[in-house]
Structure 1
Amino acid sequence: MSLLHTLLAFLLAIGTLVVIHELGHYLVARWCGVKVLRFSVGMGKVLWSRRVGPDRTEWAISALPLGGYVKMLDGREADVSGLPPEELKREFTRQNVWKRIAIVAAGPLANFLLAILLYAVLFMTGIQEVSSKIGEPAPGSAADRAGLDGGDVVVAINGESVSGWSDLRWQLIQATLEKEDARIVVRRLHRGDFTFTLPAAAFSKLDIEQDVPSALGFSIALPPPVLNKVAPNGPGAEAGLQPGDQITHVDGKPMRDSAAFLHAIRSNPGRALQLDVLRQGSAIALAITPRAEQQKAGKDSVTIGKIQVELAGQPDMIVVASGPLEAAGKAVQKVWDTSVLTVKMFGRMVTGEVSWKNVTGPITIADYAGQTARVGLASYLSFLAFISISIGVLNLLPIPVLDGGHLLYYSLEVLTGRPVPERFGEIAQRLGVGLLVTLMALAVFNDVVRLL
C-alpha cells in the first residue's frame, strides 16, 4: 500500500504540473491565433484521445507520464504549402517574434503562477510548523562560539524576518550558498533582542546537501525531559522512575531539554548516574545505570546507553497565517527567492562549487511526493509548489529543446532582425537533446545511489 500511495501521489503531482505548464502554452497560443492540433498529457504513444472544439483539437493521454506537449500548426514539422491562406495565418512560425516569445514563455509562467497560488492559499489558511526556538547549541559549534543559547528564539537572519524553523533553515542555506556572514537576531525571554554573527568562515566548508542548521550547531528546542512511559524490567523501572517524572539534573548538570537528557544517557553506557527528579512537586534523587547496547552508525557500530523510557512532549509549534494581500505578497517573494536559489544552485554546480549529487530525478521526487502526502494536505501542496517552481526554472534554462532555448533563439532574432539559421538550430537541437539526456541519466543515477 505504501508503494501504491507513493506512486499515486507522484502521478497526481506530475500530471497536475504538466497540465498546468502545457495549458499555459495552449491558452496563449489560442489567444495569439495559432491553431493547436494536439494537447497531450504524457509522451510517446497515444493511449486515448478525443477531438473537441471548432479546431477539432485532439486532447490525448500518452503512454509515458513524465511530460506532455502542445502540438501546434508548425511548418517546421509538416508540409503546410497546401493549406488555404486563412489557415496559413494561424501557423506558428508565421507569427511575429513577440507572439512566439509569449507562447513559449507561457508554460514556465504558468508554473510560477501555480506556485504563487498554492503558497498564497497556504499562507492564508495558516501553516503549522516548528517554531524558531533553538535548543542548546552543540559544544564548539559555530552557533555556540557566536554566543547563541538554548531557548533563544531566532526572529531575523541578515535582515530577513524568521517566523518558523523553515525560515531559519532557508536563510542559513542562503548564507551557505553566498559564503557570507549571517547576522542573527534572537529574542531571549525577559531580556529583549540580541544580535550575533556567524562569520563567513563558518559556512566555507558547508554544502547545502548537508543538514545546514545541524552542521552549524542549531537544533530544534525540545521541552524539558518528562517521562511518558517506563518499560517494565528496564533500567528506568529498576531505578524507580515513573511516568510523569521530570528529570532536572544528571550528575549535577541541569537538563534544559529532552535532547540534553538523551545525550547524557546515550553517552554513558554502563556508567552509574545520579538523577535529580521532580515528582508531583517533590524533588527526589535516584541512581541509574544505562544499559550498554550496540547501534549501527553508517558502516560501523557504536556503544550507547539506554534506560527504556519514553519521553513526553513535542517541540513548540506555531501557526503562521496572513491576510489575502499579505499572503499574496509573501507567496510572490517565496517563489522569487526559491527561483533565484535554484538558478544559483545550477550556476554553482557548473563552476564546481556545489556537488552534482544535488541533481535529483523521478525516483526522489516520487519519494518526496509520497512522504508529503502522508504528512498532510498542506505539506503536499507545499511540495507541489516547490516542484512547480523547479519545472519553471528548468524550462527557462537556455538549453535547446527546452522553452529557454527557444526564447534564446527569439531574443537573438529581436536583436539581429532575422531568425536563427536553420542549420544552426538543428545542430543546437541535437546538442540540447544530448545534454538533457545526460542530465536525466545523472538524476536517475543519483536517485539509485540514494536508495542504495
Structure 2
Amino acid sequence: MTYLLDALQFVTGYIVPFLLVLTLLVFVHEMGHYLVGRWSGIRILAFSVGFGPELLGWTDKHGTRWKFCVIPLGGYVKFYGDEDAASTPDYKRLETISPEERAQTFLGAKLWKRAATVAAGPIANFILAIAIFAVLFAVYGRSVADPVVAQVKENSAAAKAGILPRDRLIAIDGTPVATFDDVRRYVSVRPELEIKIRIERDGAFLDLPMVPERTEISDQFGNKMEIGIIGIVTDQDAGNFRLVSYGPIEAIGQGALQSWHIVTGTFDYLANLVTGRMKADQLGGPIRVAQASGQMATLGVAAVLQLAAVLSVSIGLLNLMPVPVLDGGHLMFYAVEALRGKPVGAAAQDVAYRIGFAMVLMLMVFATWNDISMFFG
C-alpha cells in the first residue's frame, strides 16, 4: 500500500503538473503555426499534441484532424503536401497534384507566407510568456528592493573592490540598475568575468572593477546551480523592500521586459558554456522539467504559471535556432531561397534535415543524461 501511495503521489505531484504545463506550451506553439497557416490559405491535415499513436481526436469541417497522441513530448501541425511531422515536402506527391491543389500546399505558398507560418510558432510562445508575466504582475504585483548595500561579505569580490555598507549601486558595465534584482541578474551570469560597478557614496560616484566568484548555490528545494556572486546583501532598512503594483499596460511592458531578461540570460549562459565559465550539467531535459513542475506546484498556481512562462520563452528561443528540423532551420532555408531566388534543392534539404535531427537527438540524450546523473549520480 505504501508503494501505491508513493506512486500516486509521484503521478499527481510531478507527472500531472508537468503534462499540464507542457501541453499548454505545445498547444500554443502549434496554434501559432495553425492560425497563420490557415490565414495564408494553406490546407492543414493534422494538429497534434504529442507524437505516436493517437489517443483521441476529431476531424473538423475543414478536414483537419485534431488529436492527442501517446508521447506527450511535443507536437506538430501537418500541412497539405508534407511528408512528415517535420514539414518535409512530399515531392513525389506534389508532382501528381493539380496546380489548384498545389496552391493549397505549404510548399506552394508564397515565400513570405511560409516564413510567417513557421515564425508564428515561436512568436506565439513569446506572446504567451509575456501574457503570463503580465497577469502575474497585474494580479500579485512585484516585490522590489533598491540596489543599496546592507552588508559586504568578508573576502568577497565586493570587499576586495572596496564596496562598503550603504553604497548605492548605480550601473554595471554602463548598464543602469534600478533594483537589487537587476544587480543579481547581471552578476549571476558573469562568473570569473571582470565587471565594473559604479556606486554612489556620500554624493560622490566611484567606478570599482571586480570579478564575480563562481559559486555553487542551492535553491529552496535543494537543486544546485553555479552562478557568479560578488558578496553583497541588502535588507529592509537599506533596500526598502516594497510591493509595486502595475496597471494592465505597465504589466504588459514588464512582462515583455521579463521575457527579454530570460532571452539575454540564455545567451549569457551559452556564452559561459562555450568559454568554460559554467558547466553543461545545468542543461536539463524532461525529467528535470517534470521535477521543477512538481516543485512549483507545491508553491501554488502562480509559481506554476511563472515556470510555464520561463519554459515558453525557452521553447520559443530553442525553436528559432538555425538547426534543420527546427523552425529556425526552416527560416534559414527561406533566407537562402530569398537570396538565391529559388528554393534549396531537395537532396540538400534532406541531408540537412538528417543532420539537424541527429543534432536535436544528441541534445535530448545529453540533457536526459544530465537529469539521470542529477538524481542517481
Residue 86 of structure 2 is aligned to residue 162 of structure 1: no
Aligned to 1:7: 15
Q: Tell me the distance in 2 between the aligned counterparts of 1:149 and 1:373.
A: 40
Spell out the pairing of 1:198-213 with structure 2 (5 A cutoff). 198-200=208-210, 202-203=211-212, 209-213=225-229
What one-letter code is carried by the residue in structure 2 that aligns with 1:143?
A
User: Does the 8 Å CA contact 1:146/1:196 hold for their aligned counterparts?
Assistant: no
Spell out the pairing of 1:70-81 with structure 2 (5 A cutoff). 70-74=77-81, 76-77=89-90, 79-81=93-95
TM-score by length of 1: 0.70
User: Does the 8 Å CA contact 2:235/2:241 hold for their aligned counterparts?
Assistant: no
Count residues in correspondence. 352
User: Does the 8 Å CA contact 1:146/1:197 hold for their aligned counterparts?
Assistant: no
- Unaligned 5+ residue runs, structure 1? 224-314
Aligned match for 1:35, one of 25, 30, 43: 43
The alignment yields a C-alpha RMSD, in angstroms, of 3.0
Aligned to 1:97: 111
User: How much has 1:129 moved relative to structure 2?
Assistant: 3.9
Aligned match for 1:328, one of 230, 234, 252: 252
Q: Tell me the distance in 2 between the aligned counterparts of 1:342 and 1:109.
A: 17
User: Does the 8 Å CA contact 1:105/1:403 hold for their aligned counterparts?
Assistant: yes
Spell out the pairing of 1:219-238 with structure 2 (5 A cutoff). 219=233, 221=235
Q: Tell me the distance in 2 between the aligned counterparts of 1:317 and 1:24.
A: 39
Aligned to 1:46: 54
What one-letter code is carried by the residue in structure 1 that aligns with 2:175?
G
Spell out the pairing of 1:51-450 with structure 2 (5 A cutoff). 51-53=59-61, 55-74=62-81, 76-77=89-90, 79-129=93-143, 131=145, 135-150=150-165, 157=172, 158-165=174-181, 167-176=182-191, 179-185=193-199, 197-200=207-210, 202-203=211-212, 209-213=225-229, 216-219=230-233, 221=235, 317-350=241-274, 352-450=276-374
What one-letter code is carried by the residue in structure 2 that aligns with 1:163?
T
Aligned to 2:29: 21
Q: Tell me the distance in 2 between the aligned counterparts of 1:15 and 1:103.
A: 20
Q: Tell me the distance in 2 between the aligned counterparts of 1:100 and 1:365.
A: 32
- Unaligned 5+ residue runs, structure 2? 1-8, 83-88, 218-224
Q: Classify 1:129/1:6 alpha carbon distance in 2 versus 1 (closer, same or farther; 3 Å).
A: farther
User: How much has 1:9 moved relative to structure 2?
Assistant: 1.5
User: Matched residues, percent identical?
Assistant: 35
What one-letter code is carried by the residue in structure 2 that aligns with 1:170?
R
Q: Deviations over 1:326-381 (max 9, x none)?
A: 32223222222321332343344345454222311111112222222222333222
Structure with the larger helix share: 2
User: How much has 1:130 moved relative to structure 2?
Assistant: 6.7
TM-score by length of 2: 0.83
Larger radius of gyration: 1
Q: Classify 1:5/1:184 alpha carbon distance in 2 versus 1 (closer, same or farther; 3 Å).
A: farther
User: Does the 8 Å CA contact 1:109/1:392 hold for their aligned counterparts?
Assistant: yes
Q: Secondary structure at the match of 1:92?
A: coil
User: Does the 8 Å CA contact 1:206/1:212 hold for their aligned counterparts?
Assistant: yes
